[in-house]
A and B are shown apart, each in its own frame.
Chain A
Amino acid sequence: MEGKVIVVTSGKGGVGKTTVTASIGAALAMQGKRVAVVDMDIGLRNLDVVMGLENRVVFNIVDIIKGKCKLKQAAIKDRRIENLFLIPASQSDDKNAIKPENMVWLANKMRKEYDVTLLDCPAGIEQGFKNSIVAADEAVVVCTPEVSAVRDADRIIGLLYAQSITPKLIVNRIVPKMVENGDMLSHEDVVEVLSIDLIGLIEMDDRVVVSTNTGTPLVLQNDSKAGKALTRIAMRLDGHPDLAIENPMAQKGFWKKIGLKLSRKN
């Protein structure tokens, strides 16, 4: 059976695409899949440092496309997780070094080699975005509970529909306390406005920064709520679409209730 290509995109920068790509890739590989993550941000390579593989980059995606190396030669094996590979972006080439038809060709090769290929899409709607979506079978749109991020997500969703792709939504960087106080859009607000299906909710979590500091996978950190949420998103993407989505707000309510009960007893 051929593998599938999933693009992780957002429109706006800094909302968590790279974090999500690296983490879902790691989680899927740990769930037994053969996974490649591809940095599509030509000229602004990022995924390699987030994954702690920056010292191993020899070839990159542009080299594969220009025929300077084989796909397998450019794929960097992860240090910790079996069956996880990174195809780095080129740092020196121009944004337009890759054409959509090149990506279609590469995606076909990747489907034969990997069960899941995740494309870490650059911000914006230009060449890098276009290259990423022509090659994709499915899409995950990441957005944060902010007006600008949701508006950009809406634009991206429209462009994905135009490519006959029905994306799934991740709301990232949720701060339950702020939502509760009426200072942040809730995920329900975001879903209502964008009217697409959710695939996961991720809280704001200090562990994310810690994990990028050291280049270690977030999903390996047992104490990370974001890591746990991402592991569950990976399961939903592959084989368990109906796995319940944990609501950060509800969880808070639950602990609060317990806290109340305890304080009443004492």
Chain B
Amino acid sequence: MKFNELLKKLMNKTDSRDIAKKRLKFALLTDKLEVKTDTLGNLQKDLVEVISRYFVIETESIKIDIQRSEKSSALIFNTPILSATNQRGLPSA
């Protein structure tokens, strides 16, 4: 159907097939990023535990969220730092 394709290009028509494929790819991506409500809570707990080894953080004002846009998704973790903790990992003498 080479001729058909050419005709479509000339008329600037997008195939519904291509639209379907694009929509699918996006849907599958966001489906996988959709997390159970307690997953983010658990992640926050784990992150606080790890970060606390290095910094004193203010746990009350921590924000964790997944932000989605048309093209990409990001995990946003925002925490105020109060100070550095006593570093456990100092090179031993």
Contacts and interface: CB of A to CB of B under 8 A. Distances in A.
Interface string A157-193: 0100000000000000000000111111110010001
Nearest to B21: A189
Interface residues of A, number: 17
A253 to B, nearest CB: 10
22 contacts: A146-B20, A147-B20, A147-B23, A151-B24, A151-B27, A151-B28, A154-B28, A154-B31, A181-B15, A182-B4, A182-B5, A182-B8, A182-B15, A183-B17, A184-B17, A184-B20, A185-B20, A185-B24, A189-B17, A189-B20, A189-B21, A193-B25
A180 B4 CA distance: 9
Contacts of A154: 28, 31
Interface of A: 146-147, 150-151, 154-155, 158, 179-186, 189, 193
Contact of B24 (A147, A155, A182): A147
Contacts of A155: 31
Contact of A185 (B4, B17, B28, B31): B17
7 tightest A-B contacts by CB?
A182-B15, A182-B17, A189-B21, A154-B28, A180-B1, A147-B20, A147-B24
Contacts of B27: 147, 151
Secondary structure of the B side of the interface? Answer: helix
A258 B27 CA distance: 41
A189 B17 CA distance: 9
Interface string B23-56: 1110110011000000000000000000000000
Nearest to B28: A154
Contacts of A151: 24, 27-28, 31
B18 interface: yes
